[in-house]
Structure 1
Amino acid sequence: MPPDSAPDDRLFGLIGRFYDAAADASGWAGIAGEIAGALDSTSAVLKLHGGGDDFRLLECTDNLHIPDSRQDWAAHWHRQDLWVERSAAFGPGRVVTDHDLVSPAEQRRSGFYREWLSALDIHHMVGAVFPADGDVLGVLGVHRPEQAGAYEDADRRKLSILLPHLQRALGLGRMFADAGIRQAFGEEALARIDAAVFAVDRLGRVATLNGRAETLVREADVLTLGQGRLALRDPLLQERMMQLVRACLLTATGPTEPPGSAMALTRTDRLPLTLFVAPLRAGMARLAAQPLALVMVRDPEWPVATTRVLRELFGLTRTEAVIAADLANGLSPDQVARRRAVGPATVRSHLKRILAKTGTHRQAEAVALIARSVAAFDRQAD
């Protein structure tokens, strides 16, 4: 390899920056300038081109930023990027220069050169397109003004060193972003689900749990969380729960469902808790690389609706929403009257309006509608 084409420290530093940016998307900021500097150039752009006219600018040097007042003009020329069109015809992953793509005669008559490139003081280019995601092409272009001279084979080789690492880093970045979205989705769903959820291993050790589970551990007298293990105070119920957990873990890597997965936890002078166990397959668990079981517990005495959401859903007044929530939480009209210090006739009058606004005809229908509505997902205090 000739001395002038040997990789320099700037290239190795850039490769490291690519992978740092894959892990932390904020690391892409300023990377176009470093790419331009590594190839002794004045500008660089990294963008995505999808089907039709779709494009997305990922990163560019400061001198390629276009004022807001001219964004429509810039978008037009990004969509009409002659270099991207011609590079794609050469094939993804092949490093090309402007001399490969456009003849001098075409440069002189091309609006792409005369209007777009001349405004940016760009004339020479070395770059490539590469597969990014599905039918989307990634585009890397590095540029110089005309007086700086054309790109040579040494420049092609430098970009050829960078390109596969850039492509891989962008792919990893998408994977990390997708994983982050899935994690955020799971955490938000767990926070709002109307059940206590524990993820446990075969010994009952808790890998993670949601807020409902933390509340249940504090308030319930039938289960404990000692030394990081979920346990039921009744030894027979504890053995039954662990049997369900072990059965789930045996089926976690296959399609077979465990034989039986639910049980009731009786309580003195209160309605029983209900417990359900389901497998969480290896690789789906956020905090463990082993199969886990989800132990889900519901308390029938937990509020099933908040007045804020009931008012939004059905147009109830504040008083109607309070009474509707009480009814959905299992109180009779007489019990609501005593709890709210109003007369039974007042409660029944509000109930008639609740039935009309919810489109139901009987109290049981309204209670079922409210109990199964999205009002249970609201975690804001009334």
Structure 2
Amino acid sequence: MAVIRAEDIYDAATDDAAFDQLASRLASAVGARSAVLHWGQGSAQVAEISYSGYFSPEQMALYGQEFVHDDIWGAAMEGQVANRMWDCEVMVPDRTYENSRIFNEWIRPMGDDTFRCLGGIIRHKGTTGHIGLHRGRAQKRFDERERATIQDCLNHIGRMFDIRRQLDRATHHGRSLEATLDLVEHAIFTLNAAGRLINGNAQAETMLQRQDALLLRHGQVRARDAQCDAALQTALRAAAAREATQAGALFVQRERGLPYMLSVSAIWTGSERQIVLIATDPGVHDASLASRLRSLHGLTRAEADIVAALCEGKALEDVSDERGVSLATVRTQMKAIYSKTDCRRQSELVARFARLPRLIQSDIRGDIRGDA
């Protein structure tokens, strides 16, 4: 049986492909024949569904259209304690299930014998999720060890559901960072190739309203200090260049306090090139390289840590040893990193991000005194 890791679950928070595969991973972890999980704003609303592929999309569509309200396993779950896995056969006797409409009009006409179910309801903040794992009548019942295996995953799955709830799915599909802007502590500006503001998160709007370092002129983000603004516009033009291959970083002075750290990078959303500008207050928030990489390109924590390690000159084998995972796992994560950063190889990845500075307080304070 496969092992289900917390990392696999959290990867599904922002990766649609990983979410689609999660039901299959859960099924493999306990030797289930099929599995399904979905979440919504409440019991009656299903926003997203992941199923293992045992049933065809057409069969699942028929279930959703005609049989979802006849699911006696699901109905039994509604009366149970949330965030616990239950053996549905204990709550729904065999004879009751054999006489049910869903078994006689959906399961049996497909030539199927799905008869055993391990299920539960997951509630986390504003999200309600359902999970079910199934076996055929001739297969053994789920045992306590298998129930405990899935039980250990429920808190992670609940958090993953809630993250996906917070993301705008339409924007999420478009690979734009707009869907995650308000979920991070940095001020994030999305600009078009001409440098005009497209969008900004709540922190960005607050920063522009303060006008202590950055302000908006004729739709463009500018720095109050003339010298800082010249450097900012140069960085924006470099990011907008068609063959741009590097991210940029600079300090922007403000009226009082430590200067803001600005990171500049370009992304593709479909056929359109956009610029992402991230402003970090190093006196308040995490300005580490890994933190800025996560915000720049939507990398997971593990993916950002890998890129940071590579920029320090470490090899993939070193990363594998330090993280305690197989080299194959690291190579799989690298594929996701390449996709999210529009890089094709490791050397290109390092060349693009190695010049983002590793901030320490002495560097920042030195810059404020005019040393940098």
Normalised by the size of structure 2, how large is the TM-score? 0.49
- TM normalised by structure 1 equals 0.48
Higher Rg of the two aligned structures: 1
